[in-house]
Structure 1
Amino acid sequence: MRYLVPIFFLFIGFTSCNDFSEQNEESIKINQKRDAVFKSISKKWLFVFPENTNSEIKETISNWNEWQQFKRELEEKPKTSLLAFQMKVKNVSKKSDSLSLTVPENFNIPQVRSRLVTLNTKIKSLDTYIHLGEIPEKRILTLITEINEEIKGVYTQWDEVVTKKAIPKEIGEDDMIRALDTTRLANKKFQDEIIENENKPKPELEE
């Protein structure tokens, strides 16, 4: 009986060592996988903001504080760990929320706002996936590519706005627009007079 106690403790110690060894091995595998994901994202993390743009676009976005903050945040690449990337994406996501709500007046049209909303949606997806316990590496890399495409699309939309504004109006177009406005106004007044006359009380007929 006296030999059973030492054997029991030896068995417990051996089991504990095995459990610790397995946990340590699993922990090493997880860290190795996270390091691999970090290196993969770090290699892919490059966002392109076109520089060869129209002077009006450059001037507008240089004075657009929300866009400049968003751009600066996205261009800064984390260098330490996967956690640093997670924090970076979280910050970028917060800054992208305000873009469609603060568009400068000369670019504030539905097409531009729609582009910015789509860009924000892609960044929100990136924020979601990069914070998962099991990070889908391929999906993260695909989203980085898609975000770059959306950024390019925003600049293309701005360029279209500037191009349309630069197209000269045909001769007499302004006169035609004024004439149409005058006609519409006259028709409206005429319709208002008809409605007013119809609503006037009619005199009672004498018997």
Structure 2
Amino acid sequence: MAEKEVDKDVLRYFNGQRNQSKNYFAFSAEWIGVTLTILTLLWSFGNYLPAVSYLLLIAFICFVNNVAVNSKIIHEIDDGQLEELGDLSPWVSFAEATYSLGSTLVLTSFMIIFYSALQEDIWAPTIFLVVIWLMLGIYSGIRKKVNYKKRETEVTEVKRKSTSIKIFLYLIEIGFLVLLWLDYLAVLDWISALM
């Protein structure tokens, strides 16, 4: 591929990443508000659920960090000193990882809240998680279909590497769902001990 084409692809990636970073910045700010609202509601009704509180506080830290990292990405792009993808890709990977981890912790907290609030009805958190996975699967399928005919570039390789944490996040969700099922089946009584 000609050097001019690579530069054009890199420039397009930088501009796209700048816009995406602005979106992540806004989404993280919204998640910060959601996280703090849930914590306030939990604590104001005297139902502390320490496990949920810890998960939400860690999620809060992830979202604040994501705002900071995306600010750094926007600053680096606007500064104009970036010459290659390698200069930006570690920041992009870190931003996406912290955002994804924060989102996973909030979803896991919702599962625990549903389970404890619905008097140990295991189907609510299970259906909640299955619906989320279905939506993610549909989104991934559409994305693959759209990107199927696009040529492979250095940019697509960077994007693929930045999503490598997703398996770990699914394992966190599955792990907490298994813990909820163990509590429901009275194999491991951990939710009532937290209340």
| RCO higher in structure (CA 8 A, sep ≥6) | 2
Highest Rg: 1 or 2?
1
Same fold (TM over 0.5): no
Task: Considering fraction of residues, name the structure with more helix.
Answer: 2
